[in-house]
Structures are given as C-alpha cells and as structure tokens.
Amino acid sequence: MDSKGVQLINEETKNIDRMVEETVRRYGRSRKALIPILQSIQAKLGYLPRYSLESVSSHLGIPLSNVYGVVTFYHQFILEPPGTYIIQMCMGTACYIRRNSENYRFLLSLLEIEPNSRTSKDGIFTVLRVRCLGCCSIAPVIKVGDEVYSRVNLDEMRRIVSFYRAKARTGSSKHA
Amino acid sequence: MGANQWSLMDKCCDLCRHSSETPCRSYITCAVEGPLCHDNIECREKRRFRISEIKNGRNGLKISIGMGSCGLAVGARGVYDATLRELERRGLEASVIPVGCIGLCYMEPLLEIHKDGLPTAIYGRVEPRSVGEILDTYLEGDVSGASALRNRVGTAKGELEVPLLDEIDFLRYQVRWVTRNCGIANPESIEDYIVYDGYRGLVRALESKPEDVIEIVRKAGLRGRGGAGFPTWLKWSICRRAEGLPKYVVCNADEGDPGAFMNRMLAEADPHRVLEGLIIAAYAIGASYGYIFVRAEKPLMADRLERAAEDARRYGILGHNILDSEFSFDVEVIRSAGAFVCGEETAMLAAIEGGRAMPRQRPPYPATHGLFGKPTVINNVETLAHVATIMSDGWEKFASYGTGGSKGTKVFCITGSAARTGAVEVPIGITVRELIFKVAGGVREGRRFKAVQIGGPSGGCLPENMLDLPMDYESLTSAGAIMGSGGLIVIDDRNCIVDIARFFTSFTMAESCGKCIPCRVGSKILYDTLTRIIEGGGSEDDLRILEEVGTFMKNASLCALGQTAPNPILSTLRYFRDEYEAHIKMKECPAKVCSKLVSYAIEGGLCVGCGLCAKQCPVQAITKSGERLYHIDASRCIRCGQCIIVCPRNAISRR
Ligand SMILES: Cc1cc2nc3c(=O)[nH]c(=O)nc-3n(C[C@H](O)[C@H](O)[C@H](O)COP(=O)(O)O)c2cc1C
Ligand code: FES
C-alpha cells in the first residue's frame, strides 16, 4: 500500500473514533447504551465498519467479541456497505400468502444478485428480507428506503426497480 | 394550523398557574371545561371556541385523512397534499388533519369531510386527482359519491343511498372501545386527545390509592393482550408487593407476529392512550421509570409515541409531581434493533440492558426480578390502552363485553385472502366464522376458504368445520390455535397447507435465539422433515418424526417461542393430515404449490404460438420450440403463474 492509502485509512479511523466518542458522550458510557450507540453509528455511516466496532468496544470497555455478538444477533445491523437503495421484502405470513416469495425470487433475478450476496453488482440495490412491516392488510408489500409499496406484483416490481435505477443514475438523492 | 396558535393546553390568562414546575390538579378538566379557578367569560369562550374548532374544524370545515403506515403506503400523502392545494385554489379555510387508521384498510386512502350542516362523509380509495371534485360536490350538498356517512341530517343530496358507517358490515359488529379515537383524533396533538376525553383515566387513578386502581383492573377482568392472557391486575399486584427499588414498567410495542398490526394501529392513531395506560400502570405498582420498546420495522409508531411523551412532559402530565399528585414518573422510547424473540418479556429486558435478546428461565418472573434485577411489569400496547379506557369509562362497561373468562373487547387483524382486510375491535367471544364471513366478507373473489391461521408462528390453522368456535383464550387453545396477538390470516384453496407449515417453521428456525437445544435443533429437524415431504422425498415415518419432535419441543423448550413453534405443524397434522399424505404417498401437491411436485406445461394442441407467455415470463424460461409452439424450461421456471394469466387460449397448465 502506498503512503497515501495508509494516510487515507488513518484519516478514516480518526473520523470514526471522533464520531464514536461523540456518540458515547451523548448516550453515556454504559452497557445499556451499546445498542443505541451502534444504531446511531449505522444511521450515519449506513453500516458498521469493523473499525467502528473496535472503537465502540474500547470506548465502552466491552470486549469486541461481545459487541460483535450483539451486532450479529439483531437484524438491523449491517456489516458491509449497502447499495444506494435498500429494498426490504416482507416475508411475513400475510405477504407470503399473497405470493411475495415469488416477487422476491423475481427481484433477485431482475437485479442479478448472486446467491450469497445481498447487493446488486452495480451497487445500487441491497435486498433484505424482513418479517412483517405491519401493512399486512395491503399485502404483499415491499419497502424501498422509507417508501412502502403495497399490493405489488411482478410488473410493479419491474417498474419500481427501473424508477430507482434511473434515479440512482441521475444521482438525484442518495437515500430516498 | 399556525405553530403559535393558542391551544387548550396553554394558560387562558395570567391567573392560571399550571406548568410542569408548578402543576395543578385540575389542569385536565380545566383545559376542557374551565377555567375552574376563576370566572371569566372571555377565558371560557376562548376554550369553547377552540374545542369546537377541534371537533368541527376551522370555519366549520374539517377534512381528515387516514395517514397511518398503511394509508401512507397506498398514497395518503398525495391525497393530503392535493387537499391543501384544492382548498387553497378555492380560497377555502379549513382544518386538514392527518389521522390514524380506523381499520378499514381495504378502502384506503380514506378522506373524511365534515361541514357544519352537512352529514360527515367518508370517501374510500381516494386518488389525489379526484379530491377537487369530491370537495366541490360535497360542498354543494351532494354526498352521493361517499362510501359511508357518520351521521344523517336529512337534507343532503343522495344521503339515503349512502350507508351509515356503523351499518356497513365491516363496522356493524364492532365495539369501538380502545379504538374509539382511531381515525378521529389527530395523533400528533395532545390537545385533540384531551378534547376527546383523554387523560381522564389518569386523573381518576391519581385520585385513588394504587391498591384501588389494581382492584378496578381486577374487577374489569382484563387479561394481557400480548398473547398469554395473564390477568393484568395479578401481575401488578405481585410487582407492587415485591421488594426492591426502583421499579420499572415496560410497554411491549415489539409486535413481531406477522399478520398482526393492531399495536401499530393503536400507537400510531392514539399514542396518548397507550402512554396514559403506562403511567397508570406505573402509579399502580409504584414504578418511577418506564420504557416503551418498539419494533424496528414500525418506525412511525416509535415517532408517535416519542412525540406523545414529549408533549405530555411539556404539560406536566409526565415527569416530576404529575398533576400535583406527588407521583413522579418518566419514560424513554427504545427502538429495537430487530429480532422476533425480543417480544418475549425476559428477552426484551436483556435487549434493554444492552445484550443479546435471549430469554431466561422463569421463575423468577420479571414482576419480582426484572429489569436490572428490579421488580418490573411488562404489558402489551393494547393492554395498556385498555387500562386507560377502563379507568376513564369504568370497569363495569368493559366487563359487560366478552365471555365468562375473557372479558372486554379485542382488536383482531384480518388479512390474507379475506375479501375485506383490516383491523376490527369486537367483543371477545364472537365466533371465528362471524369474523371471517360477516365482518371480513369471506374469501376474495373466486377463491374457496381453506383454513384460517390464528395466533401467528405460535398459533395454529383451523379448518372450515371449526369456525363456530368462539374467539376466547380457552376455546382457541383447546382447538390447537391460540389467541396470540389476534392476527387472523385467511388461507384460500390456492395455498398448500404443508408449505405454510414449513413457512412458519422457517420463521421460528430463523428467529430461535439458539440458547436452548430443543428449540434450536428441534426447529431445524422439523424444517428439514417438512422440506423432504414438500420435495417428494417424504415417508410415513416423517409424520411420526414431526409429531414426536414437536411434542418434545413443546415440553422441553426454555421459552414460549420454542414451546409453541410446533403448533402450526401439529394443528395442520390434526386437521389437514390428508394433505400431508398426498405429498408423501401420491407425491402430489393438491394445491399445486410445492414446486418440486408441480410443473408448468404448454399443451401443444392449444398453443397458437402468439408468444405472449414468453414476453411475460420474468425469467425467460419460455422459448419458441416450433412454428406454432412454445416450450417451458422447467429448470428456469419459478412457477409464478404469469404465463397462465396472459395466455389467451388457456393452453398452459399446472400439473
Ligand atoms: C417469542 C415471543 C414473542 C412475543 N412477542 C410479543 C409481542 O410482540 N408483543 C407482546 O405484547 N407480547 C409478546 N410476547 C408475550 C410477552 O412475553 C408478554 O407475555 C407480554 O408482553 C405481556 O403483556 P400482557 O400481559 O399485557 O399481554 C411474546 C412472547 C414470546 C414467547
Ligand atoms: S406480513 Fe407483510 S406486512 Fe405484515
């Protein structure tokens, strides 16, 4: 690695340290604050880079293995950078009965997502499966960013994907 | 509404001394009926005028738009914006209120208009571009296009052609007790809540001794609405008597059961009622701090509850010396990081403490050893909303609904293949058949009823001949289902029961926390066995494995997640055994769902080679194989059924 690369990485870790410090100050240096702190960091960075876990561990005095244990237990935490848009596919019962698993399979093929990945190759979409978004009466539903789409079918999925694809290409807004 | 507008929560004049630092006992009553401490016509008029403005709208014109999560998902925001635009274009001044969901999900987006002198009309499935026309015709006194009316005045055009809201089937059987404000009051306004009789239960509680509050809840016969149906008063009473300070109350707003959204609906539409119930619970057991634990996937619910707590705090209804009662209590909203098992009470406590949400052995129960080892009461959102309503309206009224052992009303969510989907509040004891066929209108067009799944991943499936069962805790449990949180998912003949049993098992397998072996390993064995059956490799022996492992999990798992996980399988084995047997013996899926057992094929004789199916196919599994013939590649086909829908010749079939 050239010296410039190392510097950049140092810069990044410093930024993360600063942010973690600030977050810890806000939530307090206690075990109870661990999850809100991780949530706040993920809200800022979009995911939890490994270094942020190390930093939280040392700031709170909680072993890294322990922090990692918490992070991997809950569905909300993401350890790899997600795509520009996060698509949440509801895999709750009401949505399943209304064929959302077919929509899901279709979406994976439409976005050409590899079997062991969740993000499309172009980096635009990350597809997550969630258990019920609480809109079961208008199933099947999917959520893109903060927007919920109801009664979706294959045509609708096609339309949604091309809408966000175009939006990502024109680079209008990162998080819809 | 301008931000600086005077509100009922504010002082009417300098004589009023209420603030969060110098609280006044009569504040709530005074705000609506006051002023009480002094006599001044101007102050009184100011309050009366404001109350009428909240109830009937500015200039007697009020438009409410259902903007709960589901309303927003079907475009309520656009309707709201269009309403503001159309009013402005016409130079009309009115109140435009975002309200919560009244449960009529199948009719959303909903728009309700009230104008003094006209019947209050509700319009369903409104599109932004039709708002202008709705406004014009309504204001001309023509309500013929409305879906329902709240009242009649006798002079509006078309009035008699439109049913009253209470007369439509979806509402006719309902008793709106905890859901009374849903769709009526502005959930973001504490002022609205007080105008619609809010916080009266709290006032009554603070005027009574804590023991008497517990006694009222006992007489009401309230049982927990979170699933287990434990008597609320008993939990409180044990916690009140338990040693150790501080004590805590926790509102379980984790609502993780897919298909159930009554907690979301209540908390989004009427958050102050939930908060009021929580403050009353805290007073009854002597807790000084509380947490509201909200599911990550339901962020609007967290926002609304947070806002409600902030407002209550600002006006001295939460915090130090609440309404000069010498009782102090505060709450914090916690957003879950997401895991189904967090809904289990001991797992939730572990999550609040900052760890992995793993349940622990009970006893000791949280009522004596809970959060940070202190006595803690955990109650569900709907339970707490009932507490507030019981305290304000009296236990007698609540206890007059329901059955011997299960008092009051319950909110049920009806989804899946029901003709009308949504949330309904009915007296406990209504039969399953009434709920599905009368309230929800039966099964969607052209489908046949097959089963209803009640109680989520811990519940069971009931067939047609069990539908006359009353919906109460005991009857459902004896039939192999459970009341659970109250989700009913209607399953039609196009669904395969074995596939659905596997769906639930995949759910519990994924959500098992992994702490105890019966649940962790048992759910995997069940899943693998079902997969074998679904893929055509099942044997008679597999049914025995399902029953044995299921029964073992029931008896040996640490928490109710594992103890109830086999219910979907055991109940379907009981009522739909023939379907399992068809998969095993005939290698056939009667509903033509299990993809390894069905294939799609194009009948050579019927196909005219139009190619519509190939165009429609999302995975390019259909290719031209002859002059007037197409062929489906079974290895690519995802069995989505789109080709069947588009084929003009009915040449494609499932086999
Ligand atoms: C796996 C599992 C999930 C649960 N999920 C919820 C839930 O989402 N909401 C809820 O109120 N109770 C849930 N419960 C029940 C709680 O443990 C607890 O009984 C309930 O919150 C008590 O409140 P109540 O007495 O007011 O019903 C769950 C239980 C288990 C075992
Ligand atoms: S099951 Fe999909 S939103 Fe509830």
Q: By three-state DSSP, how is residue B5 classified?
A: coil
Pairwise CB contact (< 8 Å): B355 & A97? no
pLDDT at A176 over 50: no
Indicate whether A5 belongs to any domain.
no
| Tokens standing for residue A112 | 């050409």
Indicate whether A1 belongs to any domain.
no
Domain identity same for A45 and A118: no
pLDDT confidence tier of residue A2, bands split at 50, 70 and 90: very low
Residue B192 pLDDT: 97
Shortest CB distance from B415 goes to which of A33, A75, A137?
Answer: A137
| Tokens standing for residue B533 | 């059956």
Pairwise CB contact (< 8 Å): A132 & B421? no
Shortest CB distance from A131 goes to which of B340, B489, B513?
Answer: B340
Range of the domain at A156: 85-169
Q: What's the CATH code, domain B409-492?
A: 3.10.20.600
Task: Indicate the helix (H) or strand (E) that contains B300.
Answer: helix B299-314
Q: Which top CATH class is B599-654?
A: alpha beta
Residue B456, Cβ density class (10 Å: 0-12 exposed, 13-18 middle, ≥19 buried): buried
CA-nearest residue to B489 within chain A is A94
Domain identity same for A69 and A103: no
Residue B555, Cβ density class (10 Å: 0-12 exposed, 13-18 middle, ≥19 buried): exposed
Domain identity same for A94 and A63: no
Residue A172 pLDDT: 55
Residue B1 pLDDT: 44
Closest CA to B435 of B122, B654, B44, B173: B173
User: Which phi and psi angles does B394 have, rounded to 5°?
Assistant: 95, 145
Indicate whether A63 belongs to any domain.
yes
Query: In chain B, what are the domain boundaries?
Result: 3-56, 61-167, 190-399, 409-492, 497-586, 599-654
Range from A166-170, B124-128, B344-348 carrying the lowest mean pLDDT: A166-170
State what percent of residues in chain B have pLDDT above 70.
99
CA dihedral B114, B119, B124, B130 (to 10 degrees): -70
Q: How, if at all, do strands B487-492 and B409-416 pair? A: parallel
Rounded-to-integer distance, Cα B348 and Cα B353, Å: 9
Domain identity same for A137 and A104: yes
**Chain B environment of A131 (Cβ under 8 Å):** 256, 258, 297, 340, 507, 511
pLDDT tens-digit series, residues B54-84: 999 999 999 999 999 999 999 999 999 999 9
| Tokens standing for residue B496 | 């395969």
Indicate whether A174 belongs to any domain.
no
Looking at A52, A73, A94, which one is the last position of a domain? A73
Residue given tokens 């109870």 in the structure block: A32
pLDDT at B2 over 50: no
Over residues B74-95, mean pLDDT: 97
Pairwise CB contact (< 8 Å): B257 & A134? no
Is B410's C-beta closer than 6 angstroms to any atom of ligand 1? Answer: no
User: Which phi and psi angles does B292 have, rounded to 5°?
Assistant: -115, 115
Residue B309, Cβ density class (10 Å: 0-12 exposed, 13-18 middle, ≥19 buried): buried
Sign of CA dihedral B625, B629, B630, B632: negative
* ipTM exceeding 0.85, yes/no: yes
Domain identity same for A46 and A115: no
pLDDT at A161 over 50: yes
For ligand 2, atom 1, which residue shows the shortest CA distance?
A: A92
Ligand 1: centre distance to CA B135 (Å): 44
CA dihedral B621, B625, B630, B636 (to 10 degrees): -10
Residue given tokens 């004049």 in the structure block: B13
Ligand 1: centre distance to CA B295 (Å): 12
Closest CA to B272 of B234, B314, B232, B239: B314
Is B120's C-beta closer than 6 angstroms to any atom of ligand 1? Answer: no
Pocket of ligand 2 (CB under 6 A): A 90, 92-95, 132-136, 139, 141; B 258-259
Pairwise CB contact (< 8 Å): B69 & A76? no
Domain identity same for A46 and A89: no
pLDDT tens-digit series, residues A13-37: 999 999 999 999 999 999 999 999 9
Pairwise pLDDT comparison (B184 vs A172), residue with the higher score: B184
Residue B512, Cβ density class (10 Å: 0-12 exposed, 13-18 middle, ≥19 buried): buried
Residue A175 pLDDT: 44
Rounded-to-integer distance, Cα B329 and Cα B321, Å: 8
Is A173 within 8 Å of chain B by CB? no
Over residues B190-206, mean pLDDT: 97
What is the residue-wise DSSP string for B301-337? HHHHHHHHHHHHHHTTSSBSSGGGSS--BEEEEEE--
Domain identity same for A55 and A124: no
Cα distances from B575 to residues B523, B557, B585, in angstroms, run 21, 25, 18
Is the bond preceding residue B35 a cis peptide, omega within 30 degrees? yes
Residue B4 pLDDT: 65
Residue B278 pLDDT: 98
Number of domains chain A contains: 2
> DSSP label at A114?
-
Rounded-to-integer distance, Cα B451 and Cα B495, Å: 9
Indicate whether A104 belongs to any domain.
yes
pLDDT at B378 over 90: yes
User: Which phi and psi angles does B513 have, rounded to 5°?
Assistant: -75, -15
The CB-based long-range contact list for B603-608 (8 Å cut-off, 24+ gap) reads B603/B651, B603/B652, B603/B653, B604/B629, B606/B649, B606/B650, B606/B651, B607/B649, B607/B651, B608/B648, B608/B649, B608/B651
β-pair partners for B379: B251
Domain identity same for A51 and A97: no
Sign of CA dihedral A58, A59, A62, A68: negative
pLDDT at A4 over 70: no
Cα distances from B440 to residues A24, A162, B173, in angstroms, run 50, 36, 11
Is B105 within 8 Å of chain A by CB? yes
Cα distances from A74 to residues A26, A30, A49, A71, B358, in angstroms, run 22, 19, 16, 6, 11
Sign of CA dihedral B221, B225, B229, B234: negative
Pairwise CB contact (< 8 Å): B491 & A97? yes
State what percent of residues in chain B have pLDDT above 90.
88
pLDDT at A103 over 80: yes
Closest CA to B573 of B511, B502, B509, B518: B502
Residue B239 CA from chain centroid, whole number: 28
The CB-based long-range contact list for A9-18 (8 Å cut-off, 24+ gap) reads A12/A51, A13/A51, A13/A55, A16/A45, A16/A49, A16/A51, A16/A52, A16/A55, A17/A55
Rounded-to-integer distance, Cα B483 and Cα B401, Å: 17
CATH number at residue A99: 3.40.30.10
pLDDT confidence tier of residue A102, bands split at 50, 70 and 90: confident
Is B456's C-beta closer than 6 angstroms to any atom of ligand 1? Answer: no
Domain identity same for A93 and A61: no
**Chain B environment of A90 (Cβ under 8 Å):** 258
CATH fold for the domain made of B190-399: Rossmann fold (3.40.50)
Closest CA to B229 of B502, B34, B458, B4: B458
> DSSP label at B392?
H
Q: What's the CATH code, domain B497-586?
A: 1.20.1440.230
Is A144 within 8 Å of chain B by CB? no
Shortest CB distance from A134 goes to which of B108, B298, B421?
Answer: B298
Rounded-to-integer distance, Cα B561 and Cα B553, Å: 10
Domain identity same for A67 and A99: no
Pairwise CB contact (< 8 Å): A31 & B354? yes
Q: How many residues in chain B?
A: 655
Indicate whether A176 belongs to any domain.
no
Which residues have CB under 8 Å from B128's CB, separation 6+? B75, B78, B79, B81, B82
pLDDT confidence tier of residue A6, bands split at 50, 70 and 90: low
Residue B435 CA from chain centroid, whole number: 16
Domain identity same for A100 and A162: yes
Indicate whether A33 belongs to any domain.
yes
pLDDT confidence tier of residue B635, bands split at 50, 70 and 90: confident
| Tokens standing for residue B394 | 């009296």
Residue A8 pLDDT: 61
**Chain A environment of B357 (Cβ under 8 Å):** 73-74
What separation, in Å, do the N-terminal and C-terminal C-alpha atoms of chain A show?
36
Crossing angle of helices A34-45/A64-73, nearest 10°?
Answer: 70
pLDDT at B619 over 50: yes
Range from B18-22, B77-81, B97-101 carrying the lowest mean pLDDT: B18-22
Pairwise CB contact (< 8 Å): B414 & A137? yes
Alpha helices in B450-601, H assignment, sequence order: 473-478, 497-511, 517-534, 540-556, 560-564, 567-575, 577-581
CA angle A113, A115, A121 (to 5 degrees): 25
Over residues B497-511, mean pLDDT: 96
For B:352-381, CB contacts with A below 8 A are: 352-357
Rounded-to-integer distance, Cα B490 and Cα B198, Å: 35
Indicate whether A122 belongs to any domain.
yes
Q: Which atom of ligand 1 is nearest to the CA of B383?
A: 26
Domain identity same for A97 and A155: yes
Chain A nearest-CA distance from B203, in A, is: 33
CATH fold for the domain made of B61-167: Glutaredoxin (3.40.30)
Test mutation, A93, A105, A133, chain B, max B CBs within 10 A: A93
Q: What is the model's pTM?
A: 0.94
Which residues have CB under 8 Å from B339's CB, separation 6+? A73, A74, A75, B347, B351, B357, B511, B513
pLDDT at B203 over 90: yes
Residue A174 pLDDT: 45
The overall average pLDDT reported for chain B is 95
β-pair partners for B491: B451
Pairwise CB contact (< 8 Å): B507 & A35? no
Over residues B26-48, mean pLDDT: 94
pLDDT tens-digit series, residues A77-98: 999 999 999 999 999 999 999 9
Closest CA to B497 of B609, B592, B596, B615: B592
pLDDT at B213 over 90: yes
